[in-house]
Amino acid sequence: MRRRREEPGWLHGKPPPRWARIAPPVALVVLVLAQGITPGDIELGYFLAGLPPVAAFAYGAAGTAVFAGIVLLLLGVSSLGVGHAQGADLATVAVIALLSVVIAWVRRRRDAQLVSVRTVAEAAQLAVLPPVPVRVGAVRCAGLYRAAQRGTLVGGDLYDVRVGPYGVRALVGDVQGHGLAAVGTVAALLGAFREGVLDDKELVGVAARLDRRLLADTAGAADTPVAAGAADSPGSAGSAGSPDGSGEQPELFATALLLEFAPGLDLVRIVSCGHPPPLLLRASTVSEPTVEPGPPLGLGLAGPDLAVAVDVPLLPGDRLLAYTDGVTEARDAAGEFYPLAARLPALETDPAGLVEAVWQDLLEFTAGGPGDDVALLVLSLPEA
């Protein structure tokens, strides 16, 4: 499962691209040859002084030092016919070369630190939202996740598929906000869901557990010493706890779609908490099952009857596509929303996979990608 846009290799600690390593020696050879065929009253050798700084972006300190030595040799030994630098001119080139070696050394150290930090960050984010297996119990799965914030693997959307004593259960949700600021809420919801898969006999019980988790987190955030201290500190009136200056802790809320494939039954049980229902792909048709909508999680609006479970019969070959609003609220250049249901019939035959086909189509529709987190999850029972 791929969950992020491709990024330049340097951001992943890979070696610089080949062209960056070839450019300095090629420029060196070209300048030397050009000086050889140029009349003696025209000096091109001083252009060589720019090669060590360029080499510092593609080579380490040792490689840059080699380029610096070659440049100083070509410019300082006039008998080579390339340069005639002397005195202050040669000293200036030597200082540039020395600074280039230092820059190359610092860059290599920073690259190593970046790789270490990114590796830890990726491991932490993947622990929160691990890839969905191809098969969970009797259910086939395919997922795709794209975080809106570049360089991150987890944002404000979430999904998970788990098998438990009451069947295979899936969760697709969208929490308030996006990016790294929403990861804490995502982790809390996923933890509550995984407990509910094992402990709650009814699917609505899992939804109630998620609701209680967000309500408890909201209450806990309002009681933190940080919030209280900010409210009492001088000059902080009207700014503690909420970005609008009201002094109240903002609510944590999320929309969620819960699905359950009960053992031995050709149906899916669906609970919606303010989340759009999934799309049902049957042969070449796309439909939206009628689902009883419930309020979002974390607002405390539902009381004991949080949501209503609806059973949807399934036929062999049926597929369910659950998604977040980052898909359907994406716009093209004219401001039109992405018509997911209308485009699915043409995309479902893509051999690369439905979720990847939807993502590629979404990239073309929006001319570069949506500005919100995107989550897609396809679930189906075996045809046999």
Summarize pLDDT for 329-383 with one digit per residue, the tens: 999 989 899 999 999 988 877 656 899 999 999 999 998 888 888 999 999 988 7
Q: What is the pTM (predicted TM-score) of this model? A: 0.69
Sequence-ordered alpha helix ranges (H) in the chain: 18-36, 51-55, 61-76, 87-128, 183-199, 203-222, 225-232, 325-328, 340-347, 354-366
pLDDT at 250 (0 to 100): 52
pLDDT at 178 (0 to 100): 59
pLDDT at 41 (0 to 100): 64
The torsion angle over the Cα atoms of residues 31, 33, 35 and 36, rounded to 10 degrees, is 170
pLDDT at 261 (0 to 100): 95
Query: What letter would DSSP give residue 47?
Result: G
